[in-house]
Amino acid sequence: MNIINYIEKGNGLHDALAAHGFFLSQEYGQGEPQWVLYRKDNLMATEADYAAAQAIIDGYDQAGALRAKAILSVKAAAQDLIYAIAPAWKQNNLIARSVDLVNKIVMFGGLDESEQAEVDLAETVFAKIKAIRSCSDRIEAWLAGVTDAATLATFDALNPPSQLAWPE
């Protein structure tokens, strides 16, 4: 039985191993507990499997994995905030109506009061959406520079550092 040289690096590492068809089990015998590699298909792990798994473990970047997870949570938070302002169907309707109104301006030279109010509403909605997207970009840029795994592990996309707060 081969033994894996393993230091705990979080669930992300276990997920990375699982993605390659492996899992680790901490087994107790004489002396210190040891990590043993198993294959998800229940076949015996080969020398090549041990080498592949050890390469995954040795190359695993915990901060990088946590950063990727944090960035996905920022994207999801931004989407939720945007959809709270205007769900996708409403955005599509605003865009379609805006095209109609632009065509009217081109063909007839102007809009009546109610049509101008529609344009103003669309501009307000899309300004709010643009502010959320801009904030999301700033948060993601900040995350790109964070190297501390503990900071990344506790990052809350809905409550980022105050200098990066979501627009009201």
Residue range 81-129, pLDDT digits in tens: 999 999 999 999 999 999 999 999 999 999 999 999 999 999 999 999 9
pLDDT in tens, 10-29: 778 888 899 999 988 888 87
The model's pTM: 0.73
Helix, coil or strand: residue 106:
helix
As a whole number, the mean pLDDT across the chain is 91
Instruction: Work out the pLDDT band at 43, boundaries 50, 70, 90.
Output: confident
Long-range contacts of 48-54 (CB under 8 A, 24+ apart): 49/22, 50/2, 50/4, 52/20, 52/22, 53/4, 53/17, 53/20, 53/22, 53/24, 54/4, 54/5
d(CA 108, CA 121): 21
